[in-house]
Amino acid sequence: MRSSGLSHVTFIVSDLDRMEQVLTTVLGAVRVYDSGSDTFSLSEERFFLIGDGDSATWVAIMQGDTVLPRSYNHVAFQVQREDLPALRETIVQLGLDIRPPRSRVDGEGDSIYFHDHDGHLFELHAGSLRERLTAYSAAAESGD
């Protein structure tokens, strides 16, 4: 037996409204559930869908204490390359911390990395796994 794929991603956040603003304005998320004062799980929570149709990603946010060390652990969302400049501006306008990009192999795709207010690291990635593997293979063959 093996997994059929990702079910959902949950973030514990100190401020549900502030995280909702990040999800909706940067990632185009649509809220589909808000528990309000009901706590069917561990705390108040909201559910969002990011993307379209059956392939949309379910993201949950839950109210809680967050003290995260900053690391490279992150969640990456697929975006279009031409949208990166506008997304960067939106991230700056929200006062989020953009992380300097890592070095890249030509052709593997472009990314913006940013931390939310609670220290979660997000990546907005314009590229695919196939493109990355092709770029890595070409770099290995050329000795770069």
Residue whose C-alpha is closest to residue 112's, from 135, 78, 139, 136:
78
User: Which of the residues 20, 45, 108, 123 is marked catalytic?
Assistant: 45
Specify the 3-state DSSP secondary structure of 58.
strand
Q: What are phi and psi of 79, to 5 degrees?
A: -135, 170
Element (H, E) at 37: none
- The backbone region for 7, taken as left when phi is positive above 0, alpha when psi lies in -120 to 50, beta otherwise, is alpha
Residue whose C-alpha is closest to residue 48's, from 85, 77, 10:
10
82 included as an active-site residue? no
Q: Output the CA–CA distances (angstroms, integers) from residue 120 to 14, 28, 54, 64, in the order listed.
A: 12, 18, 26, 14
Catalytic residues: 45
